[in-house]
Amino acid sequence: MAERGGLLFDGAMGSLLYERGVFLTHCFEEVSLTQPDLVRRIHEEYLQAGARVLMTNTFGANRLRLEKHGLVDKLAAINRASVLLAREVAGGRAYVAASVGPTGLPLSGLAGIDGERAEQALGEHLDAVLAGGVDVVCLETFEVLAELELAIRLARDRTDVPIVASLIFGADGKSAGGLTPEQVGRRLATAGADVIGANCGGGPDLLYRVATPMVPLGKPVIAMANAGRPEVVEGRTIYVANPEYFGVFARRLLKAGVKVIGGCCGTNPDHIRRMANAARMLAVDEGTPTPRIEAASAPPAAPVVEARDLLAERSAFGAALAAGRFVSSVELNPPVGFDLAKRVRAAEALRDAGVTTINIADGPRASLRMGNVAMAVKVGEATGLSPLVHVCCRDRNFLGLQAHLLGMHVLGLRNLVVITGDPPKMGPYPHATAVYDVDSIGLLNVVTGFNHGVDPSGKAMPEKTAFVCATGAEPAAIDYDRELRRLEMKRDAGAHVVMTQPVYDPYKVERFLDDTAALGLPVMLGLCPLASHRNALFLHANVPGMQVPDYILRRMEQADARGEGQAEGVRIAREALEAVRHRVQGAYVMPPFGRYKVAMEVLDGFIERPAPKTGSR
């Protein structure tokens, strides 16, 4: 269920019920009987937000907690109704997890009468939720480790479904008994839990601190934070960590190896939506139900090869790909201001040198520049080129992305580079809002649907689009296996060609080409000619996936000493392309500091200059 990572649970139930009018003195679990529509609506909102696991409203539906409300006689009915509500909403699109909390007894251990009562109450509670038919048992918000271990053993005796076990940790990062996260994790795994971790107790920072040390223990790890620490404002208990912060928190957890994420007290569908965006960007969880927004954006079933057969009709770039010709593209990005004269002259020179096309980034490095669509149209009009236009998911919501694509098609732009996009925190406006309603895979699904004449809601469109879609890949990715899985998903979503990030290690290039050959996607090798030894050091230290080997650094240092740094960078790029020329269908050159003439030097001899035009002029 969680081995591949990125599995997203929903958020809080109790605090949402409270916000929607259920008093704290009321039994929240009984609401499944008295106001089922309210519980159903909360489940639906979490599903719409992207949760892949819905938790039943059964956290405190055990004998000892229910007797405080005089509801013990309704124990079976409450649990049955709660499971049924979650299953109805999930409808095969998400897993259903039975939420089982502690008994509420003030246990310091499990000896004596309290231990017997706890075992009876937990066993009865587990029987009730399992009778409803759940996919997962989630033992959550336990403070006493011994009670959680007891719950794991009781659950394991009763079912073969996955068991998630999470403990509350204190602000010092230790359990109530003073144990470290590693010690707790080992005991939970030994007791029989399939997923181990932590929830509640604090906000994202604390949960990151206590969950990540469990990652090396060999079990999938779960982390579900509160929306910060609760504060009382005008008599109401609120949580102060905002949804955007939860998106950042989710990305940090997933990068650190945590496989399962979700929200606890104070979180709501907005928090989960931000976490879903992070999960789509940074995780691959094949074999699990798909969040609704991705399911909605899936195109009708159609062989991807059918789209490739049509490439020749879509653009000159598509025709070159379809014919198997060597294609080339040089990155030429928009200016900060309004003047496109230099870009037009550069594009003309590249065209005359035989470069197939240019590509224009969409707010690269989250910086402020002229919109790339405007530049693409003007440069296309002036040069006859059909640019590759980057489309990133950062700045437009799901509706805005679709409108953007349709507008590009009307303007005659046919070649897309579909990317997720650099987050705003990389640029000079770190407080700008990042949207990320979908990632590059989701957006490729949308474009492929448009190319088949179907919009993301499944409705027929008046006309089909005719886009050619490029996608990115990082041969030197830190999580290389994940990169390969995502590339396969991009191929299945409709990508026609791969444009790699620059790689300076020839072994990693060959490995990537070997490992992706079976995908059947043409590859354009990314090349970023080094400008100097200092430039090489900067790329090596600051740009993920662009490690520069020591021998290349030494070459650049020696060349700088001779005053030949840029020329040596060109030689290194040409050597890289020459080594795999027989294995790739093209080159994608990112010249340093916009020096397009450097790109022409790199490509010289690999591309043919067009024949001079003749006429009566």
% of the chain residues with pLDDT over 90:
67
Run of H or E including 198: strand 195-199
| Cα gap 358→589, rounded to integer Å | 9
Q: Highest mean pLDDT range out of 40-49, 367-376, 425-434, 449-458?
A: 40-49
Beta bridge partners of 417: 390, 470
The whole-number pLDDT of residue 524 equals 97
| Cα gap 405→466, rounded to integer Å | 11
The whole-number pLDDT of residue 300 equals 35
- Between these two residues, 55 and 202, which has the higher pLDDT value? 55
- The confidence band for 308, taking pLDDT boundaries of 50, 70 and 90, is low
pLDDT digits (tens, 9 = 90+) for 317-354: 999 999 999 999 999 999 988 999 999 999 999 999 99
Run of H or E including 330: strand 327-331
Q: What is the mean pLDDT of the chain?
A: 87
| Cα gap 347→357, rounded to integer Å | 8
Query: pTM of the full predicted structure?
Result: 0.58
Closest listed residue to residue 260, CA positions, set 123, 114, 550, 55: 55
- The pair of three-digit structure tokens given for residue 363, joined into one six-digit string: 């707010």
- Name the fold adopted by 304-603: TIM Barrel (3.20.20)
The contacts of residue 386 (CB under 8 Å, 6+ apart) are 315, 316, 317, 357, 380, 412, 413, 414, 415
The mean pLDDT of 42-55, rounded to a whole number, is 95
Beta bridge partners of 137: 98, 163
The whole-number pLDDT of residue 205 equals 86
Phi, psi of 160, rounded to the nearest 5 degrees: -105, 0
pLDDT digits (tens, 9 = 90+) for 6-20: 899 999 999 899 889
The whole-number pLDDT of residue 5 equals 59
Do the domains 304-603 and 7-296 match in fold? yes
Run of H or E including 221: strand 221-225
pLDDT digits (tens, 9 = 90+) for 495-509: 999 999 999 999 999
- Listed by start position, the domains of the chain span 7-296, 304-603
Q: Domain 7-296 maps to which CATH number in 3.40.50.920, 3.40.50.2000, 3.20.20.330, 3.40.1180.10?
A: 3.20.20.330
pLDDT digits (tens, 9 = 90+) for 353-399: 999 999 999 977 667 889 999 999 999 999 999 999 999 988 899 89
The whole-number pLDDT of residue 307 equals 44
| Cα gap 360→439, rounded to integer Å | 19
Beta bridge partners of 98: 137
